[in-house]
Structure 1
Amino acid sequence: MSIHDIIAGKKQWRTHMARVKALPPDYQIVYKEMQKYLFKVGPIGLPDGPLLPEIIDFFEGGVAAGKGVLELIGNDVAAFCDDLVKDSRTYADAYQESISGEPGTAAK
């Protein structure tokens, strides 16, 4: 990874977070909780993938339609996130695979 890639990634992240800050406060709170949850158990390619920007697109559409954030996703944020990543390989899957090997063998 070159320095240009790092700088481009930071610019992309700042633009992303500016979109989050432009959302109403209730949307921001839910987004940050979703982000925290997804970074713990979410898909392995989350930082580079399209999921987080797609969530913001979805939220911006909800704001434009005049809906509250809980009208869009329901009361269980974790269940909504789990449904988003149900077909993706997650960090939890990778961890389970690493500990389910034969005793005395190391995963490489």
Structure 2
Amino acid sequence: MRIQEIIEGKKEWRAHVARVKALPKDYQIVYNELQKYLYKVGPVELSNGIGLLSGIIDLFEEGAAFGKGVLQVTGSDVAAFCDDLIKDSKTYADIYQESVNKDVNKAIKKVTDKRK
């Protein structure tokens, strides 16, 4: 990664954080919890930039502009809202599970090959 890319990434992140800080307080609180949840669950797309998070801010800015409360936008189950956002996304847990399955299948094949 070039230095220019790092600088651009930092500028993009600072602009992103500024958008979050411009949201009403209840939206900021829910956004921060969403962000923590998504980082724990680990959708792969989050490591490739902030596209998903920016989309959430877009949705929140629109909801705030229409005078809606944050839970009117997300629904009362915020974790379910997050899960719906990433339901078709590959997560690090999925990648790990695939790796484990591959290793188990190799081990089983090795054992069955020895029995022949």
Normalised by the length of structure 1, the TM-score is: 0.89
Identity %: 65
What's the counterpart of residue 78 of structure 1? Answer: 79
Q: CA deviation at 1:76?
A: 1.2
Q: CA RMSD in A?
A: 1.6
- Count, aligned residues: 105
Measured in 1, the distance between the counterparts of 2:50 and 2:16 equals: 13
What's the counterpart of residue 4 of structure 1? Answer: 4
Q: Which runs of 5+ in 2 are unaligned?
A: 107-116
Question: Which gives a bigger RCO, structure 1 or 2 (Cα 8 Å, sep 6+)?
Answer: 1
Normalised by the length of structure 2, the TM-score is: 0.84
What's the counterpart of residue 111 of structure 2? Answer: none
What's the counterpart of residue 93 of structure 1? Answer: 94
What's the counterpart of residue 18 of structure 1? Answer: 18
Moved over 3 A (4+): none
- Bigger helix fraction: 2
Q: Where do 1:21-100 residues align within 5 Å?
A: 21-47=21-47, 48-100=49-101
Name the larger-Rg structure: 2
